[in-house]
Amino acid sequence: MREHLRGGRGERGGRIGRLLEHGDLRFLVLALLAEKPRHGYDVMRELEERTGGAYRPSPGVIYPTFSLLEDEGFVVPVAAEGGRKAYEATPAGKEALEANRAAVDAIFARLDEAAEHSSGARPKLQRAMQNLGVALRLRMQRGGVTEDQVDAIAGILDEAATRIERT
């Protein structure tokens, strides 16, 4: 599976190079689970933070990686808060991690480099846009929206768009 880092270094939306090689994500996830038990969202968020927002794996990549590591006997599910399934590294997983310590350290070094070259702004904007979409959907689903409220909401959005264009 190929993972690429996007954006940064002055290349708008372009690839700046390969961030993860085949199999790297497996060791990254294992290393994070060796630090403490985590669920998928925690792993995705941690990787996003460690790259300064330059890389965030999708659930479609993380959860199969959990399954692979579990099949290998490197992680086990543990009780988690909020009904999410968390995983922790087994002794065999920690042993595999130590046997590959140099490679794992090199992967984390690449993540650190990606963080240095990332503005971090893109994830913040994506989060803000998602928040806006959710707020609008929830307000419309709640119903009872008057024409005056529609006009007010449209005015707020138009004003925000104008301010963004001028920024």
Residues 90-114: pLDDT tens digits?
999 999 999 999 988 888 888 777 7
Q: Is the pLDDT of residue 39 over 80?
A: yes
Distance (Å, whole) CA 111 – CA 113: 5
Beta strand pairing call for 38-39 and 15-20: unpaired
Which of 2, 4, 43, 5 lies closest to 22 in space, CA to CA?
2
pLDDT, residue 18, reads: 58
CA angle in degrees (0–180, nearest 5) for 34-66-90 = 35
Q: Is the pLDDT of residue 76 over 60?
A: yes
The pLDDT, as a whole number, for residue 123 is: 64
Q: What is the mean pLDDT of residues 12-30?
A: 66
* Predicted confidence band of residue 5 (pLDDT cuts 50, 70, 90): very low
> What SS3 string covers the chain?
CCEEEECCCCCCCCEEEEEECCCHHHHHHHHHHHHCCEEHHHHHHHHHHHCCCCCCCCHHHHHHHHHHHHHCCCEEEECCHHHCCEEEECHHHHHHHHHCHHHHHHHHHHHHHHHHCCCCHHHHHHHHHHHHHHHHHHHHHHCCCCHHHHHHHHHHHHHHHHHHHHC
